[in-house]
Amino acid sequence: MLSNHFQNGMESAKLLWSRLPNSDEGVDGEGAEELGQYKKSDGTTVESLDYEVIENDAYRQEQAKRGKLYTGYSVAMKWFFALLTGIGTGLAAVFINISVENFAGWKYSLTFNIIQKSYLAGFLVYMLINLALVLSSVYIITNFAPAAAGSGIPEIKGYLNGIDTHGILLFRTLIGKIFGSIGSVGGGLALGKEGPLVHTGACIASLLGQGGSTKYHLSSRWLQVFRSERDRRDLVTCGCAAGVAAAFRAPVGGVLFALEEVTSWWRSQLMWRVFFTSAIVAVVVRTAMGWCKSGKCGHFGSGGFIIWDISGGQEDYSFQELLPMAVIGVIGGLLGALFNQLTLYITHWRRNYLHKKGNRVKIIEVCIVSVITSVISFGLPLFRQCTPCPEADSNSGIECPRPPGMYGNYVNFYCSNKKEYNDLATIFFNTQDDAIRNLFSAKTVHEFSAQSLLTFLVMFYSLAVVTFGTAVPAGQFVPGIMIGSTYGRLLGKFVVSFYRKLNIEEGTYALLGAASFLGGSMRMTVSLCVIMVEITNNLKLLPLIMLVLLISKAVGDAFNEGLYEEQARLKGIPLLESRPKYQMRNMTAKEACGNQKVVYFPRVVKVADVLSILRSNNHNGFPVIDHTRSGETLVIGLILRSHLLVILQSKVDFQHSPLPCDSRGGALPIRHNLTEFVKPVSSKGISVHDVHLTPDDLEMYIDLALFLNPSPYVVPEDMSLTKVYNLFRQLGLRHILVVPRASRVIGMITRKDLLIEDNEDSVALELQSTSVRGEEGDRRKFRRNTNAEQPLLDGLLV
Amino acid sequence: MLSNHFQNGMESAKLLWSRLPNSDEGVDGEGAEELGQYKKSDGTTVESLDYEVIENDAYRQEQAKRGKLYTGYSVAMKWFFALLTGIGTGLAAVFINISVENFAGWKYSLTFNIIQKSYLAGFLVYMLINLALVLSSVYIITNFAPAAAGSGIPEIKGYLNGIDTHGILLFRTLIGKIFGSIGSVGGGLALGKEGPLVHTGACIASLLGQGGSTKYHLSSRWLQVFRSERDRRDLVTCGCAAGVAAAFRAPVGGVLFALEEVTSWWRSQLMWRVFFTSAIVAVVVRTAMGWCKSGKCGHFGSGGFIIWDISGGQEDYSFQELLPMAVIGVIGGLLGALFNQLTLYITHWRRNYLHKKGNRVKIIEVCIVSVITSVISFGLPLFRQCTPCPEADSNSGIECPRPPGMYGNYVNFYCSNKKEYNDLATIFFNTQDDAIRNLFSAKTVHEFSAQSLLTFLVMFYSLAVVTFGTAVPAGQFVPGIMIGSTYGRLLGKFVVSFYRKLNIEEGTYALLGAASFLGGSMRMTVSLCVIMVEITNNLKLLPLIMLVLLISKAVGDAFNEGLYEEQARLKGIPLLESRPKYQMRNMTAKEACGNQKVVYFPRVVKVADVLSILRSNNHNGFPVIDHTRSGETLVIGLILRSHLLVILQSKVDFQHSPLPCDSRGGALPIRHNLTEFVKPVSSKGISVHDVHLTPDDLEMYIDLALFLNPSPYVVPEDMSLTKVYNLFRQLGLRHILVVPRASRVIGMITRKDLLIEDNEDSVALELQSTSVRGEEGDRRKFRRNTNAEQPLLDGLLV
């Protein structure tokens, strides 16, 4: 009988666990020694997410019970939310673009109007407008949404790898990111709006996934359809792809970025949904652009969205050009790795010294950077002698000089002669999008002098390094493209003068330079390649971009890690890489556990004991043991700290008897609303100090069999750590139990055992039930019993 | 002492296993009942591959022993072989293209010359040339390389999923595929050369990976650097990508095809190498095309390689057009699903009735299909009335009529008037590449009448269905594009006449139709989208292609599975899908094993017992048990049938004593050349009948501890089958041992245990060794012992 009880309890545990939303298991602020090493590096708390996606049959099993119709409904909901994410991210991107374009356009036209009279007054106005915009951005970040600083990509990457940084996906972060980006990009700092858009997309997806923000009373029960962590995480992946698709108008690039750079765990079903989201974004953005062409949104219609069409560029390349292109790749690798290293040092210094002094210092720092940027971008072109316009080529359709304040090449700025242009002003005193368009432009050979390009390269590189890590939303794509295209164009100048007879365009080299710098810094390959092709709209250069990227990534990898990995490490986000470390080959699972003591729970446990165990350590998962009839111990599952805390807080599952609850007969007394077990993303869960119990409560018992995960993954103690790592990483686990070697093998599972035909549902099950005999019989009987209880239990489901 | 022996033996087992190339475990022809269900459907034998990639630390550990330099060498080798694969596949593609173009060009110009005099004679010549080409193809396939029939993609997909179909990656298959494709495509059948090119790339990669073909004495010891199954499989993935990249000149599409459609298990490191291979192919193909432009390779230079540039097409689209485009998506889904279903029926019938009658029937069948194709493609245009040429538009640069036998639109065929053209002949009596180019062409509104398009659609669809599954190499991409672009253009005609004022191009609709049919039939999304963009060289239509693909895939999925999955199932290739089946949720690991009896081996086993056990069943893996000092049994690992057979065949590891070999002291007697354990791909391994033993041999013993895998993956008996499935599929396993629930937990592994810093190598290990005490001490001592033996063992390594 006892053994029956045991089995019965196990079955119910399975039932409940299968319905428990497999919520995050947070390391609480005060007990975070388990992850303590990641707290040292900075002040923020990093929380490890439960990424046990496989355990997450929860939602599915619930669906199974509700029947096929419900399954269809839930699939439809996933697509509907992907649609909403796409539309939301697309609209956010359009809003940011319109705002930035209008602020920047207004700023430049005002400045240009004033410098007709006085350059000093013009400079002051220019500087003050920049300062005001930047100040608004840094004010929002420091006082309202500190998590919105930076690009957000390392944090999102961490989230999808299983680490939840506090505050990263909140509603306030979303708002801070959108308005902060507008200020910082509009204010002319050396940073981009693309990285923040990825973060924006992820925030929108996350908020949709959990049904709005509870704090701001923006949530709706109707929206709360995703009760499983995995579904929410999938939606965030869609959001990332949507962000890239919106930022660069590169839908396929967005899918690949999400695949290659952001997610840690990927399924082909997800790919299709991500693809759909990207397509929706493309349609939304295109619609907005079409609407803007009518002139209703200011400067926007004529070029706000990134698309640096270089279709007028080089059609073909010769083998001689492969050498200079390889050189570009090497330079990109070197400068990219240097960029990563410099930003790492500076960010490290900032975190540990400067930013510890409070928000005031952060604000002052950004203001100083803004003033320096204004001085350099306005001042340097003044020292540059103007160049006479090249002879007019009526075919190319390129005017010279252009009136200042307009898009295009050959800007007339501080020139004595009307037929002259200032090449440094053309790239420096301009929005970054226009500067890139000018650098990429074809049919403008010798527009920029080597001296100007070099000056710009050095200055902008320094500005980008200094700006990185300040307390404003900051993307690295556009600065990277700026830097890369500058040295690319510089090299292109030499190539043009060296191979005189070839039809070489400097703009093509600028594009390759941009690719090489991004490759050398971010170390992406396929996604970056597709993004570059999509933003320049020129497929013919694809093999060249591929080769340049391969070289620059290889060179960069020789020195350090990619920008996002470096920054993630610095921010204390412990990413699990996709391949195990070298020295794991010589270690076993047991060695990895070290001499840590395993804390067990018995199946039925006294509340006072639970509390004292939870207080005495900071483990997040505890094995639960029970005794069989013959008195042997048996590991019956794993219970999570977070679930225990929910049980302790609500008290409804306490019982007076120290016996398993099923021994008293009747239905299993699960009184919990299952949504209680889900912790909202990016917020702290319940801490053990939030639990307040009376002395009476402490004398009661809890039957853990109802709440535990009955089959956690186990490995034998002497398994190679490489194998364990792969298991952990591939399945996105949170806990693995290390157990002794088995004494016997019950069966072997091979491929054929897992090939079950869909249409043989009942037949296969029937077959199964006749083939299982003996000891299995007992078990099945009890399963049937619990099945009989299902309708009752179903009533408890929300 | 005994326990020490035990531990010592285990350590040595670990050592050897870590060096054993984790070879395939073949189901031998005669004992294949374990996979019997996959043999029923057809005559060919299907073999399950060992896909336990994780176990494959073999190669790495060997590297570890040889030091960092060797690791560098092996990484360099991987890249070098990827380079070779790229070059080889690129050259093969160029060769196939040049041959097909020249055969087809010569055929058409001869025919056109003759029909100036007699249409009947022209038809006979045309039909006979086609017949001769097709006959050569089917002769090669039936007599020389039967595995080269069809597209080969389902088989490659199976191989990368872990199932080795016999003969699929042999040298003869490669040769058969190349020359067979030339014959079948040159012979004008309704099939393409793109699928076979993917297979060709995979064959080249596989042959390179195993160092050539032993049978044809083309192997070289120098080339045999890949001793691990995983490295070889990775190279095959590169080969697939190279095939697509070469077939469509779509390098990014190739990477995505390999990722989305072909591989089952993907790592980000591999992505980079695949990307590199694709880039190499792009350069090789471009070089060849540049060389051909000088006119040295016949018709090739002017258009042999697929690139249907539709850059002249529609630049923009309006919202009104989304409706007809959605309709195209729906039609694509319906026709695609119908295509899959029809081909499934016909192939099924062919396999079970027609092709069982021998090669002669296969040859006759193909000849009949060829004659029918010739009759239809030559005869139908004769019945079509010619259309007067449209008014000349000097800007478009399109002539009308064209002289027959040349590329381009408006072909004059069987027309009474010189200023007329035959629209059906323009698409039908032409190579498929040219027909597609004509269908995609812009600025040719109303070139094709609805009647012609409909006739062509019906006829070509039927031909494609009938041709599919005949004994020739056959790709489905080009026929799919033909069918799709026909109904796309047909719908485009209606759209053009309905929305008069819009700037609509029929060619754009043809492109969308092509995408929709491929989406509806093959069910790819991202890769197909990128391939379509790369072959048409028009990025602007990307969002439209995405939407059409999403619709057609969704519609198709409502009816049946994708083409490759259907065909794989029919061919008896049991693919493990990426998601577990629905009913697995209610099953446990133990239920999946059924009541199969587990066959154990003791650690030291008599040769006669091994032989009788191997003969008595067809299991491929056997647990090995040993006894501890206290007499308890303990599962010490898993031994593979294939390894046992190698040991039995070579006899060198037999011993007279029934005691574990390490109990006698001294070095461990491993006398095997480790390469003996690797089975070449696509060939049968050793069968138990190949083993010949003398009565003396039968009385000897084998110590299995030296050869077993000491830590196979285990799951507790009552784990949900969904979890087991994910473990199996994600890690690419071959065997999982089902064991009883553990009685205790030795430790828990969490994220922090797996975050080991690279630069703390020695520190971490030192820390480890001080923290491990007690029972661990013993163990480490023996590890040190075995470490001391390593130099000796290293001598045995090849």
Token pair belonging to A720: 């190679």
Neighbours of A58 (CB within 10 A): 22
Q: Is the pLDDT of residue A675 over 70?
A: no
C-alpha–C-alpha distance, residues B81 and B75, integer Å? 10
Q: Which residue has the higher pLDDT, B128 or B439?
A: B128
Per-residue pLDDT at A646 exceeds 60 = yes
Q: How many CA atoms lie within 13 A of A605 on its CB side?
A: 26
Contact A51/A734 with Cβ under 8 angstroms?
A: yes
Between these two residues, A350 and A55, which has the higher pLDDT value?
A350
Nearest CA in chain A to B290: A318
How far apart (Å, rounded) are the C-alpha atoms in residues B570 and B573? Answer: 7
pLDDT at B198 over 90: yes
Mean pLDDT computed over A572-587: 79
Interface of B with A in 615-634 (CB under 8 A): 619-621, 623, 625, 632-634
Listed residue (A449, A456, A434) closest to A376, CA to CA:
A456
Say how far apart CA B310 and CA B314 lie, in whole Å: 9
CA distance A25 to A643: 8
Residue A759's pLDDT band, with cuts at 50, 70 and 90, is very low
Q: Which residues of A touch B55 (CB under 8 A)?
A: 723
Closest CA to A131 of A169, A183, A172: A183
Distance of CA B534 to the CA centre of its chain: 21
The candidate with the shortest Cα–Cα distance to A684, out of A20, A203, A47, is A47
The closest CB to that of B753, out of A319, A553, A592, belongs to: A592
Using CB atoms, which residue from A621, A743, A749 is nearest to B633?
A743
Share of chain B above pLDDT 90, in %: 25
Chain B CB within 8 Å of residue A554 CB: no
> Which segment of B449-458, B611-620, B680-689, B755-764 scores lowest on mean pLDDT?
B755-764
Report the pLDDT value the prediction gives residue A126, as an integer from 0 to 100.
Answer: 93
pLDDT digits (tens, 9 = 90+) for B381-412: 888 888 888 776 555 556 777 765 556 677 77
Residues 6+ apart with CB under 8 A from A157: A261, A262, A564, A568, A573, A575
Structural element, H or E, at residue B626: strand B621-627
Per-residue pLDDT tens for A439-448? 888 777 778 8
pLDDT computed for residue A667 by the predictor: 47
Alpha carbon of B337: minimum distance to chain A alpha carbons (Å):
18
Q: Which of B547, B734, B742 sits opposite A635 (nearest CB)?
A: B742
CB of A268 within 8 A of CB of B577? no
**SS in 3 state form for A95-113?**
HHHHHHHHHHHHHHHHHHH
Q: Is A761 in CB contact (< 8 Å) with chain B?
A: yes
Cβ contacts from A onto B, under 8 A: 400
B375 reaches A (C-beta below 8 A): no
- What is the rounded CA–CA span in Å between residue B385 and residue B378? 14
The nearest CA of chain A is from the CA of B94 a distance in Å of 17
B546, closest residue in chain A (CA to CA)? A279
> Residue A222 — very low, low, confident or very high, per pLDDT cuts 50/70/90?
low
Residue range A57-62: average pLDDT? Answer: 45
- The answer to whether the Cβ–Cβ distance between B576 and A286 falls below 8 Å is no
Contacts of A18 in chain B (CB under 8 A): 720
Residue A38, min C-alpha distance to chain B (Å): 10
CA distance linking residue B332 with residue A428, whole number of Å:
51
Structure tokens at A741: 């070697």
- With contact defined as beta carbons under 8 Å apart, do B623 and B635 qualify? yes
- Tell me the residue length of chain B: 798
Residues of A in contact with B282 (CB under 8 A): 542-543, 546
Smallest CA-to-CA distance from B280 within B204, B173, B177 is with: B204
Which range, of B41-50, B292-301, B625-634, B702-711, averages the lowest pLDDT?
B41-50
How many angstroms separate the CA atoms of B695 and B671, rounded? 22
DSSP state of A300: G
Residue with tokens 């003044």: A382
Query: DSSP labels for A395-462?
Result: TTT--SSBPTTSSSSSB--S-SSTTEE-HHHHHHSS-HHHHHHHHH-SS-TT-S-HHHHHHHHHHHHH
Q: Which residues of chain B neighbour A734 with C-beta distances below 8 Å?
A: 750-751
Report angle CA B566, B571, B573 to the nearest 5 degrees.
85
Q: Is the ipTM of this complex over 0.85?
A: no
Cβ(B270)–Cβ(B309) under 8 Å? no
Cα(A633)–Cα(A273) distance, integer angstroms:
46
| CA dist., res. A273 & res. A264, Å (int) | 17
Q: Tell me whether B441 touches chain A (CB under 8 Å).
A: no
Residue B492 pLDDT greater than 60, yes or no:
yes
Q: How far is the alpha carbon of A711 from chain B, nearest alpha carbon, in Å? A: 5
HSE (side-chain half, CA atoms, 13 Å) at B497? 8
Q: pLDDT digits over A355-397, tens only?
A: 888 889 999 999 999 999 999 999 898 888 888 887 765 555 5
- Please check whether residue A713 is in contact with residue A731, taking contact to mean a CB–CB distance below 8 angstroms: yes
Q: Which residues, numbered 355 to 374 in chain A, qualify as contacts with chain B under a Cβ-Cβ cut-off of 8 Å?
A: none
- CA dist A607 and A604 (Å) reads 10
Identify from A526, A531, A760 which residue to disrupt to test chain B contact, counting B C-beta atoms within 10 A and taking the largest count: A526
- Backbone Cα Rg of chain A: 30
Cα B277 to the chain's mean position, in Å?
16
Q: Is A252 on the interface with B (CB under 8 A)?
A: yes
Torsion sign, CA atoms B680, B684, B688, B692: negative
Chain A residue whose CA is closest to B621: A748
CB contact under 8 A, A590 and B746: yes
Answer yes or no: is pLDDT of B119 > 60: yes
Q: Interior CA angle at B317 toward B315 and B319, to 5°? A: 170
Helix H or strand E segment including A772: none
Give how far A554 is from chain B: nearest CA, Å. 10
Distance from CA of A718 to the nearest CA of B (A): 7
> Lowest mean pLDDT: which of A224-228, A386-390, B319-323, B446-450?
A224-228
Question: Which of A52, A737, A745 to mutate against chain B (most B CBs within 10 Å)?
Answer: A745
Decide if pLDDT at A520 tops 80: yes
For B778-796, the pLDDT digits (tens) are 333 333 333 333 333 333 3
The residue in chain B having the minimum alpha-carbon distance to the alpha carbon of residue A589 is B749
Tokens (6 digits) for B297: 């390779």
CB of A282 within 8 Å of any CB in chain B? yes
> Which strands, in side-by-side order, build the sheet including A601-602?
A601-602, A621-627, A633-640
The three-class DSSP label of residue B196 is: helix
pTM: 0.82
Establish if A64 touches chain B: CB-CB under 8 angstroms. yes
> Which amino acid does the sequence have at B384?
R
CB-CB under 8 Å, B61 with A594: no
Q: Which of A741, A762, A775 to probe the B interface (max B CBs under 10 A)?
A: A741
Concatenating the DSSP letter of every residue in A351-400 gives IIIIGGG-HHHHHHHHHHHHHHHHHHHHHHHHTSPPEEPPPP-TTTT--S
Give the mean pLDDT of chain B: 78
pLDDT higher than 90, residue B598: no
CA distance B192 to B163: 26
Q: What is the mean pLDDT of residues B129-157?
A: 93
CB contacts of A771 in chain B (<8 Å) are 594-595
Cβ–Cβ of A743/B550 closer than 8 Å?
A: no
Tens digit of each residue's pLDDT (9 = 90 or more) over A102-156: 888 888 888 888 988 888 999 999 999 999 999 999 999 999 999 998 889 999 9
User: In this complex, do B37 and A752 lie within 8 Å of one another by their Cβ atoms?
Assistant: yes
Dihedral angle over CA of A157, A161, A165, A169, nearest 10: 60
Residues of A in contact with B740 (CB under 8 A): 742-744, 746
Per-residue pLDDT band for A263 (boundaries 50, 70, 90) equals: confident
Cβ distance B574 to A286 less than 8 Å, yes or no, reads: no
Residues of B whose CB is below 8 A from A744: 625, 633, 635, 739-740
Say yes or no for a CB contact (<8 Å) between A251 and B276: no
| Count of CB atoms situated within 10 Å of the CB of A632 | 11
Cα distance between residue B672 and residue A365, in whole Å: 68
Under an 8 A CB cutoff, do B742 and A714 touch?
yes
Quick one: pLDDT band at residue A39, thresholds 50, 70, 90?
very low
Per the model's pLDDT, the better-predicted residue between B322 and B581 turns out to be: B322
Nearest CA in chain B to A575: B755
Closest-CA distance, A587 to chain B, in angstroms, reads 9
With contact defined as beta carbons under 8 Å apart, do A105 and A404 qualify?
A: no
Q: Which helix (H) or strand (E) holds B164?
A: strand B163-165
Q: Which residue does chain B place closest to A275, by CA atoms?
A: B526
Q: Tell me the two tokens of residue B218.
A: 């083309």
